[in-house]
Amino acid sequence: MKKILIIDDDPDLVSSTTAVLESKGYSVASAPNGKEGYEQARKLKPDLVLLDVMMAHDTEGFEVAKKFRQDPATANLPVIILTGIRKAKGLPFGYEPDEDWLPVQAVLEKPVKPEVLLSQVEDALGKTVKK
């Protein structure tokens, strides 16, 4: 069973995302902030992390994603960013994965449709997407 760690400070999002993932057979753990999420990732060794951006401060998720890449214990951990930063900050642009600046597999804007989330999770885990 694949383990997914959700790092997000929104308990409703964590609850609904957990339900969607568990319905497809994933094991799910969560952390409410980047510091705890980083520690859990090192301890639990999940197969994938779903990471919010705006938690304790507006760029916390970006910083955690970089920290994962710099740590040999988590350097190969697939990360998908789930964020509402574009809408919350009124940004006229979105974010894209970037090897140096944003080393993640995908960036998804909240709210994310369950089928889009599952498709991205399966892609990041290297599975064949089931239609």
- Condensed to tens digits (0 to 9), the pLDDT of residues 23-79 reads 999 999 999 999 999 999 999 999 999 999 989 888 899 899 999 999 999 999 999
For the question of whether the overall pTM of this predicted structure is more than 0.85, the answer is yes
Has residue 4 got a pLDDT over 60?
yes
Helix, strand counts (H, E) of the chain: 5, 5
Per-residue confidence (pLDDT) for residue 102, from 0 to 100 = 62
- The tokens describing 21, both together, are 């993932």
**Mean pLDDT, the chain, integer:** 87
The structural domains of the chain, ordered by start, are 3-124 (3.40.50.2300)
Half-sphere exposure of 63 (CA within 13 A, CB side): 11
- Residue 105: closest CA among 126, 84, 128, 129: 126
**Residue 83 pLDDT exceeds 80:** yes
Two structure tokens written together for 104 = 């993640």
End-to-end CA distance of the chain: 20
Res 113 pLDDT > 70 = yes
Partner residues linked to 8 by β-bridges = none
